[in-house]
Chain A
Amino acid sequence: MWVNMGPQHPMTHGLWNLKVRIDGEIIVDADPEMGYLHRGIEKISEDRHYNEVVTLMDRTCYVAGLSWETLYITAAEAALHIEVPERARWIRMLTDELQRIGSHVMWYAAFVQDIGLMTPFLYGMRDRDLILDLFQSFTGARMTYEYNRVGGVRNDLPNGFTDRARKVMDWLMPRFDEYDALCLGSDIFHRRCDDLGRLSATECIDLGITGPMLRSAGLARDLRKDRPYHRYDQVDFDVATATAGDVTARYLVRMEELRQSVRIVRQCLDWLDKHPGSVLAQELPRWLGAPYAPVGAEGYLLKRRYPSGTGFSAVEEPHGEAQAYVVNTGGEHPYRVKFRSPVFANMSGAKSYLVGYHVADIPPIMGSVDICVGEVDR
């Protein structure tokens, strides 16, 4: 019997359809169907100024908007040959890590809801709110930030931000232990999640699966270490790995990443305290929103030739490895923008980690993938 789990189904966490063929309660075939949320972001980008594409990036992944902003903006800057001030790079790293905490906590909340835990769901949402408050204090928004600009970031962090952020980090660290106590301390959690959705590292590589799913299979592949961007080569952190490759292992990896992210955030805050400076490149052309342009009317229409080029960037996004490719042919719009969504690859392998398990196992397994349909369909 084929069962359509989606497009409107509590398990999906977004707009997609998981078709599963079941024999009794056993899954014998699975076929994920994406595309319900396609908005043509890549095509729209070709018709937007470089800075305007940033607003689309927030809509690409609604739980990790800033990660996608920095992903795109790094590629765009490479295509435009623009150097970014050091402080902006550190701020981007800070926002990336805060975003990772926000996204992973959100994942935790959604995942525990899938296996029937109600209380930690609200704990997760409660703690994510603190991260959103931090974002709000320097971007003015809670989900769609529009914070990055070609050549840096829109504005510097407000006064007292670093202390506030440190306080939040101090609050979060014991909460992560509480999360673990609520999940790992429960025998039922292990019954539900151990040996579930198993994937070996080889299978992950074959399917193009990246991020926490790959690391949970034992491969310490993390772009922040392997191909450092921003200033990840100047901070101390460990790559979280596990060996089992099952749902519990993915949980463990994400929990460890939360702790490592807090570590990175603290280092970023220390650095930012010591190194004040500009956060936006000064020698920008007017149409790219130079600092002296009035806000809102940033001289976009002043057309100017700019040396053509292409830019590529790869970012360890909370869900996995995201990549962006921007082609600049000298105009004021990017000629072509292409993204690689990690979740698209992670989800597409659904058949290989679903078949053989029970229908009741679908929510924890798909939950452990950490699905964000916005970036899958783009």
Chain B
Amino acid sequence: MATTLYSVSDAISSLLLGAVGSIFPEPVHGWLTSTDVVTGLAVLIFCAILLVASMINTIMLIWFERKLLGRFMDRRGAMHVGYAGLLQNFADGLKLFRKNTFMPREADRLGYFTGPTAYMVTSMILFGILPVSSGWNGGSLPLSLLLALAVFSFAPLFIFVSAWSSNNKYSLLGGMRSAAQMIAYEVPILLAVVAVVILAGSFDLNTIVLEQQNYWFWGPLVVALFVFFVGMLAEMERIPFDLPEAEAELVEGWNTEYGGMLFAFFMLADYVRALIGSLLVVLLFLGGWTMPSYVPTALTSFPLAGIFWFMLKTYAVFAIFVWIRASLPRVRTDQLLRIGWMRMIPLALLSIVLAGLVVLARCLPVFGCVPTLGG
């Protein structure tokens, strides 16, 4: 049986409980090593591994972006804390953690504190949904893609709540822009995803990846990939679509009034969403953890090879996001919305048509396929 995230945490759990149980007399020992307790602890360990891995990845993502941006800009990025500045972000996080948590006098208490927390939580939940390798996911759901996108699109609500409750004009403007932008780009993203679903015949991310073992979907669905990529740029609020926090006119946009750990929540959640966006691009279009068959098996069969390739692809996709950030100015709100509604949606619809054509073409006798939808 292949190692999965659950089997690993189960092994750790039984090992731990066996060791701890051995020092206790019989009734306690028996209870500690019973299946229920082992499974319960295994689930907790499972969650802890997921949380730690995703947090470390997120923080490393920030480091990766800082170093890469530095190189683009003819400088070196973080250098001094840890080797090549690897620990710089941990130091920054610690600094923010130590800061005072404050609230503007006229702000709405409930919204002010709930907004960033909920934003952070809904972003983190996604790590439990997305698989990183076969078996390495929180749970295999038949509609995991739909669930992931649904959770992903919670964000504008909480951004708007925190912006409105900050009682600041810049925050309010930023929050409104953010909501408008995210809602406008949800639509093309979902339509582009529909193209993928048509081709894969499933909403299950595992199945979508398995369907890509023969050919990655970016080939036939290059239009959908483009729409999805641009939409993700807007969802992540990165340059050129970072107007909700457009520094030049709106100070910091919707998080102007936030400081300390609440600001860190926003910052971290932004990068969590950036990571999720890159993961989704890889899962839906770049074959997930699979590699083409012409890659030597030695390169794809070592332990955790799936995760390795998957993360490599993810970071490569993120590098493109960083590249875009380093080289483009930001667009204006009305231009952004016009691009979203007038350009992206027709393109997304086109990609659905293309996906349908590909499914039909697969049924041509040349390819010898079974003529079923998503076959």
Identify the A interface with B (CB < 8 A).
Answer: 1, 3, 5, 9-11, 25, 112-119, 121-123, 126, 182-183, 186, 188-189, 191-192, 358-363, 367
Closest to A112 in B: B329
* Cα(A3)–Cα(B174), bound, Å: 13
Q: Are A115 and B327 in contact (CB under 8 A)?
A: no
B242 at the interface (CB under 8 A from A): yes
Interface string of B71-96 (1 = CB under 8 A from A): 01111000000000000000000000
Q: Contacting B329 at CB < 8 Å: which of A11, A116, A126, A362?
A: A116
Q: Are B173 and A115 in contact (CB under 8 A)?
A: no
Q: Are B330 and A362 in contact (CB under 8 A)?
A: no
Closest to A358 in B: B332
Identify 4 new A-B residue pairs, CB closer than 8 A, beyond the known A116-B242, A188-B331: A3-B170, A118-B73, A188-B240, A191-B335
Q: Are A118 and B332 in contact (CB under 8 A)?
A: no
- B side interface size, CB within 8 A: 28
Please tell me which stretch of B46-54, B139-147, B243-251, B302-310 contacts chain A, meaning at least 4 of its Cβ atoms lie within 8 angstroms of it.
B243-251
Q: Are A10 and B247 in contact (CB under 8 A)?
A: yes
Q: Which of A121, A123, A126, A363 has the most CB of B within 10 A?
A: A363
Q: Known contacts being A119-B73, A123-B74, is A189 close to B329, with CB within 8 Å? A: yes
Q: Known contacts being A122-B74, A126-B74, is A115 close to B169, with CB within 8 Å? A: no
* Cα(A126)–Cα(B70), bound, Å: 13
Q: Within 8 Å CB of A116, what residues of B?
A: 239-240, 242, 246-248, 328-330
Q: Within 8 Å CB of B334, what residues of A?
A: 25, 358
Q: Contacting B248 at CB < 8 Å: which of A10, A119, A126, A191?
A: A10
B333 at the interface (CB under 8 A from A): yes
Q: Within 8 Å CB of A191, what residues of B?
A: 331-332, 335
In the complex, how many angstroms separate the beta carbon of B77 from the nearest chain A beta carbon? 11
* Cα(A116)–Cα(B332), bound, Å: 11
* Cα(A122)–Cα(B334), bound, Å: 28
Q: Within 8 Å CB of A367, what residues of B?
A: 248
Q: Are A115 and B74 in contact (CB under 8 A)?
A: no
In the complex, how many angstroms separate the beta carbon of A194 from the nearest chain B beta carbon? 12
Q: Are A115 and B330 in contact (CB under 8 A)?
A: yes
Closest to B332 in A: A360
Interface string of B213-252 (1 = CB under 8 A from A): 0000000000000000000000000011011001111010
B45 at the interface (CB under 8 A from A): no
Q: Known contacts being A5-B249, A10-B247, A360-B246, is A119 close to B327, with CB within 8 Å? A: yes
Interface string of B115-135 (1 = CB under 8 A from A): 000000000000000000000
B29 at the interface (CB under 8 A from A): no
Q: Within 8 Å CB of A359, what residues of B?
A: 173, 249
Q: Known contacts being A3-B169, A359-B173, is A188 close to B249, with CB within 8 Å? A: no
Q: Are B239 and A360 in contact (CB under 8 A)?
A: no
Q: Within 8 Å CB of B325, what residues of A?
A: 118
Q: Within 8 Å CB of A188, what residues of B?
A: 240, 328-331
Q: Within 8 Å CB of B335, what residues of A?
A: 191-192
Closest to A183 in B: B329
In the complex, how many angstroms separate the beta carbon of B248 from the nearest chain A beta carbon? 4
Q: Within 8 Å CB of A182, what residues of B?
A: 327
Closest to B70 in A: A122
Q: Contacting B328 at CB < 8 Å: which of A9, A25, A126, A186?
A: A186
B59 at the interface (CB under 8 A from A): no
Q: Within 8 Å CB of A362, what residues of B?
A: 249
B69 at the interface (CB under 8 A from A): yes
Q: Are B251 and A10 in contact (CB under 8 A)?
A: yes
B326 at the interface (CB under 8 A from A): yes
List of 5 A-B pairs having minimum Cβ-Cβ separation, nearest first: A116-B330, A363-B248, A122-B73, A115-B329, A114-B248
Q: Within 8 Å CB of A121, what residues of B?
A: 73
Q: Are A1 and B73 in contact (CB under 8 A)?
A: no
User: What are 13 A-B contacts defined by CB distance under 8 Å?
Assistant: A1-B169, A3-B169, A3-B170, A10-B247, A116-B246, A117-B329, A119-B72, A123-B73, A126-B74, A358-B332, A358-B334, A359-B249, A360-B333
Closest to B242 in A: A116
Q: Within 8 Å CB of B240, what residues of A?
A: 116, 188
Interface string of B269-303 (1 = CB under 8 A from A): 00000000000000000000000000000000000
Q: Within 8 Å CB of B243, what residues of A?
A: 360
In the complex, how many angstroms separate the beta carbon of A216 from the nearest chain B beta carbon? 19
Q: Contacting B75 at CB < 8 Å: which of A10, A25, A114, A122?
A: A122
In the complex, how many angstroms separate the beta carbon of A50 from the nearest chain B beta carbon? 41
Q: Contacting A117 at CB < 8 Å: which of B74, B328, B332?
A: B328
Q: Within 8 Å CB of A5, what residues of B?
A: 249
* Cα(A123)–Cα(B75), bound, Å: 10
In the complex, how many angstroms separate the beta carbon of B249 from the nearest chain A beta carbon? 5
Q: Within 8 Å CB of B73, what residues of A?
A: 118-119, 121-123
Closest to B330 in A: A116
Q: Within 8 Å CB of B331, what residues of A?
A: 188, 191-192
Instruction: List B residues 147-165 near A (Cβ within 8 Å).
Output: none
* Cα(A112)–Cα(B326), bound, Å: 12
* Cα(A3)–Cα(B251), bound, Å: 12
Q: Within 8 Å CB of A126, what residues of B?
A: 74
In the complex, how many angstroms separate the beta carbon of B251 from the nearest chain A beta carbon? 6
Q: Known contacts being A1-B169, A116-B242, A359-B173, is A11 close to B332, with CB within 8 Å? A: no
Q: Within 8 Å CB of A1, what residues of B?
A: 169
